[in-house]
Amino acid sequence: MAAEANTQAPLPSGQRSTAEVLRTVFGPVVQLFLFIIGSAVTLGLIVVLLALLQIGTRPDILTRTLTILPQVWIDGMVRGFLFATIALGYTMVYGVLEFINFAHGEIFMVGGVAGAAVGLFLANNELLKGMNGFFFVLLVVGVAMAVSGTLAVTVERVAYRPLRGAPRLVPLISAIGVSLVLQDLVRLMMTNSDLGFNARFNTPDFGKPIRLFEMTLGERPVPVILSPKALIFIVASIVMLVVLNYLVNATRLGKAIRATAQDMPTASLMGINVNRIVAMTFLIGGALGGAAGALFGLNVGTVNPYMGFIPGLKAFTAAVLGGIGNITGAMVGGVVLGFLEAFVASYLSLFTDGALSGAAYADIAAFSILILILIFRPSGLLGEATTQKV
């Protein structure tokens, strides 16, 4: 691989046993699952406590809280993996260039739109009806990854590379410009094609919702339902996270990326083609974002050209929450933020008796979390305190 021009015999540390590789690949995934279980349990206990506090005035509140709790957990997982996959793009680019790729939310959106276009194409050609669901997901996600990855690399080449080494604000402003241009270009294309502004995401029939189990609370049993689309989302995200971990922690390309992130000038002295690595970082980050976009569109059912903005912002929050520049941190931050948001969205109106709408205030909750982290722990959950280089 040209990314690493070190043609001498590989160092002993370069050859690792399979066990070691497995440990570096699955270590972060295990950490991620610990955080998922941790946030699920902690937040669950908090809502139960809050319900117990109100039980004097509203006797049915504990039952209502427990009834929706498993559903909120599933919702939290979906949101969490969504933020995690987008946040990875932010954090990888930040790690390499120390620059917030503001347009990443739009890369995500383009993935969703590309997926919807594939769905529409298949539907128009009568191919969708009997299509294998697994194959459909693979196709849609593959196309979205290709389109978004290519777009991310192009954007880097056109709008960011000429500005490398400029004062911090300059590339950031350029990135904001890219984000606005992409939103309107996609809108122009969508409104002038069959997709329309709010495009429907055509999918084959994935079958009935899966009944996980039934809880008996009060008089009647409450089923816990997992929709097949949510299941697809969760499984696909986990697969992507594992592959990414393998790529970054166990391959030569990953080593080159890590070296570039650590110290770009030195990496280039070691024979790493830094420009190529930066492009690869954008490609991987963009492809992940695109896949997340396609899966999100598939899960929600519609896509529109402005859908990338808010998830992009929240994914950035997730990246900061986990410690920006840290790949495991981005996943953990995404999942924690997703759970927090799901809990606020579902329980705020329940606990305030409908006075505050949870869906609207979930956004505010996410940004408040961002501000709180930045005040109290700017390095994030897993990040190390960084000192500014002079």
Partner 1 sequence: MTSTISSEGLWDRFRGMLSRGPTAYGFLGLYAAVCSWLLITNPRTSLSTDVVFVLLLLLLLFIYRSQVALPFRVGLVAILLGVIIPYFGTLNPFYIDVATQAGIFVALALGLNVVVGFAGLLDLGFVAFFAVGAYFWGILSTTQIAAFNPAWGPVPPILFYPFILLGLLLGAITGVLLGLPVLRLRGDYLAIVTLGFGEVIRVLANNLDRPINITNGSQGIRDIERPPLIFTDFVRGTLGWQLDDQQLYQQFFYFVVLLIVLVTVVIVSRLKLSRIGRAWEAIREDETAAIAQGIPLVRTKLLAFAVGASFAGAMGVVFASKQLFINPPTFDLLRSINILAMVILGGMGSIPGVILGAVLVTLLDLQLLPRTAAVLRDLQKSGVPIPEAFDPTQYQRLFFGLLLILMMIFRPSGIMPDERHKGELSEVAATRSRGRGEQDQQGGSEA
Q: Which residues bind partner 1 (CB under 8 A)?
A: 99-100, 159, 162-174, 176-185, 187-188, 191-192, 264-265, 268-269, 309-310, 313, 316-317, 320, 352, 355-357, 360-361, 363-364, 367-368, 370-371, 374-375, 378, 388-390
- Smallest distance, partner 1 to C-beta of residue 267, A: 10
CB closer to partner 1 out of 180 and 300: 180
* DSSP assigned state of 128: S
**What pairs with residue 226 in β-bridges?**
210
- Smallest distance, partner 1 to C-beta of residue 317, A: 8
CB closer to partner 1 out of 183 and 281: 183
In contact, 116 and 157? CB cutoff 8 Å: no
- Smallest distance, partner 1 to C-beta of residue 174, A: 4
- Smallest distance, partner 1 to C-beta of residue 8, A: 23
Question: How do 210-216 and 221-226 pair as beta strands?
Answer: antiparallel
CB closer to partner 1 out of 183 and 245: 183
CB closer to partner 1 out of 18 and 192: 192
**What pairs with residue 141 in β-bridges?**
none
CB closer to partner 1 out of 42 and 368: 368
Residue with tokens 């849609």: 140
- Residue 306's nearest CA partner among 194, 195, 179, 193 is 179
- Smallest distance, partner 1 to C-beta of residue 165, A: 4
- Smallest distance, partner 1 to C-beta of residue 338, A: 17
CB closer to partner 1 out of 130 and 167: 167
- Smallest distance, partner 1 to C-beta of residue 370, A: 6
Please give the Cα distance from 197 to 201 (Å, whole number): 12
Please give the Cα distance from 212 to 221 (Å, whole number): 13
Count other Cβ atoms within 10 Å, centred on residue 361: 16
User: Would you tell me the crossing angle of helices 252-262 and 61-97 to the nearest 10 degrees?
Assistant: 80
Cβ contacts of 275 within 8 Å, gap of 6 or more = 161
Return the percent helix, strand and coil in the chain, to nearest 5: 70, 5, 25
CB closer to partner 1 out of 72 and 178: 178
CB closer to partner 1 out of 102 and 233: 102
Residue with tokens 């194959």: 135
The identity of residue 38, as a single letter, is G
- Smallest distance, partner 1 to C-beta of residue 101, A: 11
Please give the Cα distance from 148 to 135 (Å, whole number): 20
Please give the Cα distance from 322 to 335 (Å, whole number): 10
- Smallest distance, partner 1 to C-beta of residue 184, A: 4
Question: Phi/psi at 384 (nearest 5 deg)?
Answer: -95, 150
CB closer to partner 1 out of 181 and 226: 181
